[in-house]
Structure 1
C-alpha cells in the first residue's frame, strides 16, 4: 500500500490494519504506520503556538508514591497556557508567579488529559486532518474524533479499564510507560466505581506500590509492560486494564476510542451502575465529605434521568440483538456518522451531554468485528510487536529493541517496584467475591480491637462489581424481550 507520497510505504493496508485492530485480543504496538502524519510534529512548542495563549486545565498530583492510588478526586487543578506549562516543567524561575507558582515541579506532576481536539481547536478545524486514522482502516476518522494528552514527568492515569470500545494511542513526544492487565485479572485488581465516572472502572490497587496486605490477590495479576516511544501506536484491546505514566520531562499523546458491537451491552451495564451509585451515594449525608463523583462528571444525575438512560440503553441493546439475529447487519459509517460512541467517554463534562439525549445511545453502529474463522494469522513481526507478560520479558523480549518511524526504540520496563507493607489497624478488608469481611490482622500489630462498620462504598463494591452488573444486565435483557 502506497499513500499519495510515493515514498511513504506502510507495512499494512488499511483493511488489514482494521482487521488486526478489531480482532486482536492482546495489546500490541504498531510501528512504521504514521510516518506521514503531520500530527507527529505536535510537540508542546507547536501546540502552544497553535493555541495562541489559550488556557487549558491541568491536573496536578504528587510525585511521591503512596499505597493508595492518586485518584482525580485527590488532585489539584489549574488553568494555564502551554507556554506556562513548558516553563514550569523545565523549572524556569519565571514560574515563581502564575498558575503553577504553588507547585514545585520537583514534587508535582501536571497533566492536561482527556482534551478533545475538536473542542480545544474548534477555531482551527483544519488541524483535524493532521491525524489520519484512515491508515488504520477507519476512513473519515481524524483529530475531530481524537483526544490529546500533555503531561510532565510522573504524570499518570490511575489503573482502570474502559467499558466502551478499544483504544488506539499514538505517542508524539516523549515516552510513556503502560502497565496493562488482561480482562481475566479483573478480580485481582479489586475493581471499584468510587470515584464514579461513566465508562471507567478503577482499581483500588496502586499497581506501582501495591498494598499486598490489603489486596493479596494482586499477586496473581499478570502485568504486560511496554514503553511507548514517538511514532508508535499502541492497541489497547477491549476491557484491558491500564496504568499509564509519563517517564520523560514532557509527553504528548493522541488517542481515539474505536466502538465495538459489544458496547451496546456495556451501555446497559453502565446505566445500571449509574442508577445504583447515584441513588445510594446521593442518599448519604453531604457533610461526610466523600468525594465520590469524579471531576469529569458534572453532577449526580436524578433517578428519573438515570431511568430514562437505562431504558434507552436496554432498547438500543435489544434492537441491536434483533438486527444481529435477523442477519441484517448495518454497514460501516463514514465521515460525521463515524464519530465514535466510545469517544463520548468524557464528553459529559466537555459538552454538557445529558445521559438521556447523548449521541452515545442513538448513533448508528459501525465497524462490525470480523469472525474469528475469517481472520488470517496475525502478522506479528518488526511492524507489529506483542506486548508480552512481564514474567516472560527476560527470556523472550529482554534484549529486543525495535526501530520506530522516528528511530526511537521500544523498551521494556524493569521489574515492578513493590514498596513497604504498612500495618493498617482499623481497615476493613473486602474481597471481590463479596464474601465474609474481616478486620486486617498483622503479626506485628496484633488483632484489631476497635469496631469497624460497613460503609456504603463497601456495599457498592459488591453491588456494582462488574460480574454482578453483567448478570443484572442479562436479566434486564431477558425481561425486555418478554414484553
Structure 2
C-alpha cells in the first residue's frame, strides 16, 4: 500500500516548536523529488554554471579552519567531480593547484533561489510544508556540496532554528547545548552578523589553552541520506563531510523571538566594526568573514541598530495589544531562508525578525515534553559520555542501532579566531617600550590584544545585558 508519513504536518511542527534538543526525523521525505539531487544530477541541472568553493587543508590542527583562513575557487560542479574523483582532466582546471588528497572543497551556503533563478520549478522539489511550514520550499533553502573533510567551524546561529536534509553521503555533526557557551570560548572574530564562533577545534581541542571545554556536553551524530536533522535555536554545531561527496539542504526557520537578537547583533556589529576598523583600516580581510560584503560605517551601523530597536518595540506593542499567550508567541513567521541575510538601512521594521535570548519558544511544560514521540521515526541526539567527548572525530556517537534496525535499508527512495590572540598592535608595542625597566618578567604575558578586549565586550552575555538596558531606556 501507499507509504504513510509518521507525522502529520501539524504534529511535525508541534515537535519542532517544542523540542529543546536536536533530533532526527526519519521517513518524512521519501516522496520529495529533491532526494534525486545528487552531485551528478546537480552538475547537469546547473549546466556549466560556476559556483564558489571554499578550499581547506586536510590536517589535524588544534585551531579551527575559519573561512578567513581558507582560499576560494570558482568552478563548475563537473570540474569539482573530476577533481574529487582524481580524474586527469582536472589538472588544467580551477582545482589544478590543489591536491585532492591534501585539500577538501566546500560549496557552502548556496541559496537555491539564486542557483536556480532561471529554473524556479525546481523549488517545488523541496517540501518543507510536510513539517508544517506552509509554502516553504526550495526558495527558502540553502544547498551544501562538499568533499570528504569539508567542514563548518563550530558556531551557533543567532537567528531561528534549523532543519537539515541529507541527500548524498554522510555528515557528522557535533552539537553542544546553549548552556555550554562559556565552555566553547565564544568569539566574534571572524565577524559575521549571524554567527558566533567557537575558538575551540571541537574535534581536536587544545585543552591547555581551553581547559573549560572539558565541561562541554557533546552530542555527536552521523546524518544519513533521507534523514532530517532538527537543530534547536542557539545550539552550537560543528559539521564535517564523512564521505567523498556530500550533498545536503537546509532551511532556517525564522521566529517571532528573533526580534531581540537582531538588536543584539546590531550592537555587536557597531562595536566590532568600530574597534577593528580603528585598529587597522586597511586590514579588514583579517577579521571580516568573506560572507560579509564590507565593514559598514559607524553611521550605517547606528541606523541598523535604530531599525532593529524600532522593530523590536513595534513587535512588543503588537504583542501586548493582541494579548497573545506567551506559550504561542514564537510561532514561526516569515519565509526568509538566508541565515546571513542582512537588514539594510532602508528595511521596513516588519521585515526585521530576530532571535531573543528570552525563554519563549523552547520553554514548554514538562508534561508536553513527555509527549514527544521518540522512537524509530524520531531519534533523539543524546549526549555522549563525558570521557568520550574529548576523543574528537572518533568519538562514540549516540547509539541508534536498535531503533534503526527495522528502518535500515528501507525507504531511502520512499522513506571562527585560531586560539588565543597574542599579536599586539603597534599602540601597545609603543606603550610597552615606555614601560619602566623594573617591570616583572611576567608582564609581557599579560598583554591584551584588541581581539581579547572584543571577546569580553561582545560576549553574548554582555551583549544581552547591553541590549536589555538599551531597550529598557527606549521603552520609557
TM range (shorter): 0.7 to 0.9
Distance 1:117 1:425 in 2: 37
CA-CA distance at 1:372 after TM superposition: 2.3
In the alignment, does 2:124 pair up with 1:129?
yes
Is the CA contact 1:139–1:334 (under 8 Å) kept in the aligned structure 2?
A: no
Q: Against the structure 1 CA distance between its residues 239 and 107, is the aligned structure 2 distance closer, same or farther, given a 3 Å change threshold?
A: same
Is the CA contact 1:333–1:364 (under 8 Å) kept in the aligned structure 2?
A: no
In the alignment, does 2:344 pair up with 1:355?
yes
In the alignment, does 2:459 pair up with 1:459?
no
In the alignment, does 2:224 pair up with 1:235?
no
In the alignment, does 2:368 pair up with 1:372?
no
Aligned counterpart, 2:335:
339
Normalising by the residue count of structure 2, what TM-score does the alignment of the two structures yield?
Answer: 0.85
Instruction: Report the 3-state secondary structure (helix = DSSP H, G, I; strand = E; otherwise coil) of the residue aligned with 1:372.
Output: coil
Normalising by the residue count of structure 1, what TM-score does the alignment of the two structures yield?
Answer: 0.84
Is the CA contact 1:426–1:450 (under 8 Å) kept in the aligned structure 2?
A: no
In the alignment, does 2:19 pair up with 1:24?
yes
Is the CA contact 1:35–1:405 (under 8 Å) kept in the aligned structure 2?
A: no
Aligned counterpart, 1:274:
269
Choose which of 399, 402, 405 in structure 1 pairs with 2:404.
402
RMSD (CA atoms): 3.0
Distance 2:106 2:349 in 1: 26
Distance 2:352 2:272 in 1: 26
CA-CA distance at 1:328 after TM superposition: 4.7
Distance 2:159 2:408 in 1: 29
CA-CA distance at 1:359 after TM superposition: 6.6
CA-CA distance at 1:327 after TM superposition: 3.1
Is the CA contact 1:134–1:141 (under 8 Å) kept in the aligned structure 2?
A: yes
In the alignment, does 2:378 pair up with 1:389?
no
CA-CA distance at 1:339 after TM superposition: 1.7
Aligned counterpart, 1:261:
256
In the alignment, does 2:43 pair up with 1:48?
yes
Instruction: Report the 3-state secondary structure (helix = DSSP H, G, I; strand = E; otherwise coil) of the residue aligned with 1:347.
Output: coil
CA-CA distance at 1:7 after TM superposition: 1.4
Is the CA contact 2:170–2:241 (under 8 Å) kept in the aligned structure 1?
A: yes
- Within 5 A, what are the aligned runs for 1:161-310? 161-286=156-281, 291-310=286-305
Between 1:287-296 and 1:216-225, the stretch displaced more is: 287-296
CA-CA distance at 1:397 after TM superposition: 2.7
Q: Against the structure 1 CA distance between its residues 150 and 369, is the aligned structure 2 distance closer, same or farther, given a 3 Å change threshold?
A: same
Distance 1:134 1:264 in 2: 24
Distance 1:47 1:170 in 2: 16
CA-CA distance at 1:65 after TM superposition: 1.7
- Within 5 A, what are the aligned runs for 1:317-332? 317-329=312-324
Instruction: Report the 3-state secondary structure (helix = DSSP H, G, I; strand = E; otherwise coil) of the residue aligned with 1:295.
Output: coil
In the alignment, does 2:138 pair up with 1:143?
yes
CA-CA distance at 1:369 after TM superposition: 4.5
- Structure 2, unmatched stretches of 5+, are 389-395, 413-418, 424-440
Distance 2:363 2:272 in 1: 36
Question: Which digits, 9 at most, give the CA deviation of each residue in 1:91-119, with x for residues without a partner?
Answer: 11111111000000000000000000000
Question: Which digits, 9 at most, give the CA deviation of each residue in 1:445-473, with x for residues without a partner?
Answer: xx978556311111100000000000001
Q: Against the structure 1 CA distance between its residues 39 and 275, is the aligned structure 2 distance closer, same or farther, given a 3 Å change threshold?
A: same
- Structure 1, unmatched stretches of 5+, are 1-5, 349-353, 410-423, 429-446
Q: Against the structure 1 CA distance between its residues 177 and 360, is the aligned structure 2 distance closer, same or farther, given a 3 Å change threshold?
A: farther
Choose which of 5, 8, 11 in structure 1 pairs with 2:3.
8
Higher relative contact order (CA 8 A, sep 6+): 2
CA-CA distance at 1:402 after TM superposition: 1.5
Q: Against the structure 1 CA distance between its residues 197 and 11, is the aligned structure 2 distance closer, same or farther, given a 3 Å change threshold?
A: same
Instruction: Report the 3-state secondary structure (helix = DSSP H, G, I; strand = E; otherwise coil) of the residue aligned with 2:145.
Output: strand
Instruction: Report the 3-state secondary structure (helix = DSSP H, G, I; strand = E; otherwise coil) of the residue aligned with 2:201.
Output: coil
Between 1:283-292 and 1:90-99, the stretch displaced more is: 283-292
Distance 2:402 2:293 in 1: 46
Distance 2:94 2:362 in 1: 49
Distance 2:162 2:131 in 1: 12
Distance 2:10 2:421 in 1: 56
Distance 1:126 1:334 in 2: 28
Choose which of 458, 465, 470 in structure 2 pairs with 1:471.
465
Distance 1:252 1:30 in 2: 18
Distance 1:201 1:97 in 2: 38
Instruction: Report the 3-state secondary structure (helix = DSSP H, G, I; strand = E; otherwise coil) of the residue aligned with 1:400.
Output: helix
CA-CA distance at 1:401 after TM superposition: 5.6
Q: Give the paired residue count.
A: 436
CA-CA distance at 1:141 after TM superposition: 0.1
Distance 2:105 2:35 in 1: 22
Distance 1:32 1:360 in 2: 39
